[in-house]
């Protein structure tokens, strides 16, 4: 197993770097008289956790001659799998993923799976529209979570000394219904025993991408008969309130602008997450179609239509537009990693499974519009 010996001096140097950076963030917020923003909060919390881990390692090093042996993640994962497939017990190894991999000493390298929530969620997130429009993927939600839905609130102008009329806030809450999404892969025990880091790469790359493909298919399908439809887990276009039909096989620039106009005319706020969705063929056509007769500009310019980004997926029929901040995707509870060396023991195969509960909710149906081509009627 790969391991490295780390001196207390190296830990101390890193602690000093962490403290300097945390002080920089704090000083900047004090100077600007504000609270930390989301990015600063994330960095600050990451640094705080790392500081705690390093302090724990320093304590371990103090009783081990000033050194501590720490495995890297790939080596620890290999060791974990080999132990799980060779320990002779008649039970499946099922574990909950943690937030961080902090390194493991040789003594405890097989105690817990050295795989983190980030190993699964980050590559998954990169394959979804949420990452592209800047929406964080919510993970670890607990209990009966509710998405608050707030209607439009109107301000009013009143003369001096005239009492303002009450404004009623139309507020409701949507309770998401999580469904289990899982992916299993079969790995030969020969691969587990004779390779280094390969299985971890498969788990980190292929398993999240498979889940991302499934989520995208469910997100962008447009009918209950489409492949992948699930009545508890689908996007906004199945029950779309706003629908338009294009006059021809290639929509005009005006028709596409009118689509988003329908959304904003409903009082939906543009929160920066508005985007068009279409397949690659349609996008290629619009990139080569002039928006008018004189400007020389195409309908899609620099990946945008009228300033709004265009994203491509093979799972949508037609063209969609929506404010994606109103279609939250949530992961509930724990992400579970299961090692099963027994179900296919006769083939000398170990089955690796990742299970998690997800929900997809449309907070405001009027925030989305679907455009159909004439032949799709």
SS (H, E, C) the chain: CCCEEEEHHHHHHHHHHHHHHHHHHHHHHHHCCCCCCHHHHHHHHHHHHHHHHHHHHHHHHHCCCCEEEEECHHHHHHHHHHHHHHCCCCCCEEEECECCCCCECHHHCCCCCCCEHHHHHHHHHHCCHHHHHCCCCEEEECCCCCEEEECCCCCCCCCCCCCCCCCCCCEEEECCCCEEEEEEEEEEHHHHHHCCCHHHHHHHHHHHHHHHHHHHHHHHCCCCCCCCCCCCCCCCCCCCCEEEECCCCCCCHHHHHHHHHHHHHCCCCCCCCEEEEECHHHHHHHHCCECCCCCCCECCECCEECCEEEEECCCCCCEEEEEHHHCCEEEEEEEEEEEECCCCHHHCEEEEEEEEEEEECCCCHHHEEEEECHHHC
Predicted confidence (pLDDT) at residue 84 exceeds the cutoff of 80: no
Predicted confidence (pLDDT) at residue 93 exceeds the cutoff of 80: no
- Highest averaged pLDDT of the listed ranges 56-70, 141-155, 317-331, 344-358: 317-331
Alpha-carbon distances of 70 from 10, 80, 81, rounded to whole Å: 13, 14, 18
Predicted confidence (pLDDT) at residue 363 exceeds the cutoff of 70: yes
| Structure-model confidence comparison of residues 99 and 48, the more confident one | 48
User: In the prediction, which pLDDT does 2 show?
Assistant: 46
What are the tens digits of pLDDT across the range 245-293? Answer: 999 999 999 999 999 999 999 889 888 899 999 999 999 999 999 999 9
User: In the prediction, which pLDDT does 1 show?
Assistant: 44
The mean pLDDT of the chain is 77
User: In the prediction, which pLDDT does 37 show?
Assistant: 86
Confidence (pTM): 0.67
- Highest averaged pLDDT of the listed ranges 84-88, 186-190, 305-309: 305-309
Cβ contacts of residue 87 below 8 Å, gap of 6+?
A: none
Alpha-carbon distances of 58 from 53, 68, 107, 108, 147, rounded to whole Å: 9, 8, 16, 17, 43
Domain boundaries, the chain: 4-117, 122-142+177-377
Predicted confidence (pLDDT) at residue 227 exceeds the cutoff of 90: no
What are the tens digits of pLDDT across the range 161-183? Answer: 444 444 343 445 567 788 898 88
Q: CA 239 to CA 236: how far, in whole Å? A: 6
What are the tens digits of pLDDT across the range 332-358? Answer: 888 888 888 888 888 888 888 888 888
Structural tokens at position 138: 């919510």
User: In the prediction, which pLDDT does 72 show?
Assistant: 60
User: In the prediction, which pLDDT does 171 show?
Assistant: 42
Predicted confidence (pLDDT) at residue 368 exceeds the cutoff of 50: yes
User: In the prediction, which pLDDT does 187 show?
Assistant: 86
Q: Which of 338, 353, 280 is nearest to 312 (CA)?
A: 280
Q: Residue range 136-144: average pLDDT? A: 72
How sure is the predictor about 118, in pLDDT bands with cuts at 50, 70 and 90?
A: low
Predicted confidence (pLDDT) at residue 156 exceeds the cutoff of 50: no
- Please report, rounded to a whole number, the percentage of residues in the chain having pLDDT higher than 70: 72
Q: CA 312 to CA 309: how far, in whole Å? A: 10
Q: Residue range 203-217: average pLDDT? A: 83
Predicted confidence (pLDDT) at residue 98 exceeds the cutoff of 60: no
Structural tokens at position 177: 């219904």
């Amino acid at each position: 197993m790969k391991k490295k010996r780390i001196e207390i001096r190296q830990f101390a140097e890193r602690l000093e770097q962490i403290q300097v950076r945390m002080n920089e963030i704090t000083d900047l917020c004090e100077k600007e008289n504000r609270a930390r923003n989301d990015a600063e909060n994330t960095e600050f919390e990451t640094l705080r956790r790392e500081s705690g881990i390093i302090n724990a390692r320093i304590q371990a090093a103090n009783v081990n001659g000033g050194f501590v042996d720490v495995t890297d993640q790939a080596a620890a994962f290999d060791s974990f799998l080999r132990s799980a497939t060779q320990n002779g017990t008649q039970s499946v190894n099922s574990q909950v993923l943690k937030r961080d991999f902090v390194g493991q000493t040789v003594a405890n390298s097989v105690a817990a799976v050295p795989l983190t929530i980030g190993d699964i969620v980050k590559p998954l997130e990169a394959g979804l529209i949420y990452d592209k429009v800047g929406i964080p993927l919510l993970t670890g939600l607990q209990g009966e979570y509710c998405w608050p839905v707030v209607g439009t609130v109107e301000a009013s102008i009143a003369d001096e000394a005239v009492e303002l009329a009450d404004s009623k806030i139309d507020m409701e809450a949507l309770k998401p219904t999580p469904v289990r999404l899982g992916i299993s892969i079969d790995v030969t025990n020969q691969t587990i025993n004779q390779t280094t880091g390969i299985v971890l790469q498969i788990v980190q790359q292929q398993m999240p991408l498979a889940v991302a493909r499934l989520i995208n298919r469910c997100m962008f399908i447009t009918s209950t008969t489409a492949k992948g439809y699930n009545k508890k887990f689908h996007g906004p276009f199945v029950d779309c309130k706003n629908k338009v039909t294009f006059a021809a096989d290639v929509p005009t620039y005006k028709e596409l602008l009118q689509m988003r106009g329908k959304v904003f005319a409903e009082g939906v706020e543009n929160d920066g997450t508005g985007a068009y969705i279409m397949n690659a063929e349609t996008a290629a056509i619009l990139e080569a179609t002039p928006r008018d007769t004189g400007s020389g500009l195409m309908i899609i310019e620099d990946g945008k239509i009228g300033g709004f980004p265009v994203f491509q997926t093979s799972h949508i029929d037609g063209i969609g537009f929506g404010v994606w901040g109103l279609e939250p995707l949530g992961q509930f509870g724990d992400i579970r990693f299961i090692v099963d060396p027994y179900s296919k023991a006769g083939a000398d195969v170990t089955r690796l499974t990742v299970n998690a509960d997800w929900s997809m909710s449309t907070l405001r149906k009027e925030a989305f519009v679907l455009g159909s081509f004439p032949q799709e009627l």
